Amino acid sequence: MVKIIIGTKGTGKTKILIDLINKAVKETDGYVVCIDKGTKLRYDISTCVRIVDTDFYNIYSFESFYGLVAGMLAGNYDIKNVFVDAILKVGGADYEALGALLAKLEKLSGGEVEIVLTVSANAEDLPESVSKFSIK
């Protein structure tokens, strides 16, 4: 299952994400992974969360991001939650490519893994292929 948190800069997307991460740690029977550009969330989330820094692994496109997530899920069947902050900082503001990524992630999750991403944009600017994943 893929969900996105949409909002412009300063609307509290990261705070919502942090709350969801810490809630998932308490409720899951598997592992929780946080993918971030840098390590700015390190001190706001539980130490039980596995943090992956996209800069460290040179992830700078939606395709390489998909490969990272697919590899993690293939290597560890116990991952139940994946949280991603600022996906557009990884792949750029190509909303059609983002929609394609979200569709691929939805298929990859197989209903077994919850993937939540933040998207810093106006909801009105996003195509249906992206906005359909929005948390209402």
- DSSP structure string for the chain: -EEEEEE-TTSSHHHHHHHHHHHHHHH-SSEEEEEESSSTTTTTS-TTSEEEETTTTT--SHHHHHHHHHHHHHH-TTEEEEEES-HHHHH-S-HHHHHHHHHHHHHHHTTTSEEEEEEES-GGGS-HHHHTTB--
Phi-psi sector, 92: left (phi>0), alpha (psi -120 to 50), beta = left
**pLDDT score, position 43:** 87
Residue 134 has pLDDT above 80, yes or no: yes
Mean pLDDT of the chain: 95
Angle at 36 between CA 33 and CA 38, to 5 degrees: 130
pLDDT (tens digit, 9 = 90+) per residue, 84-118?
999 999 999 999 999 999 999 999 999 899 999 99
Q: Residue 136: which pLDDT band, with cuts at 50, 70 and 90?
A: low
Going from the C-alpha of 96 to that of each of 41, 76, 88, 91, 102, the distances in angstroms are 28, 29, 12, 11, 10
- Kindly list the structural domains of the chain, giving each domain's residue range(s) and its CATH number in brackets, ordered by start: 2-131 (3.40.50.300)
Across the range 15-37, mean pLDDT stands at 96
**pLDDT score, position 20:** 97
Q: For the chain, what is the largest distance between any 2 Cα atoms, rounded to a whole number of angstroms?
A: 37
pLDDT (tens digit, 9 = 90+) per residue, 33-65?
999 998 888 889 999 999 999 999 999 999 999
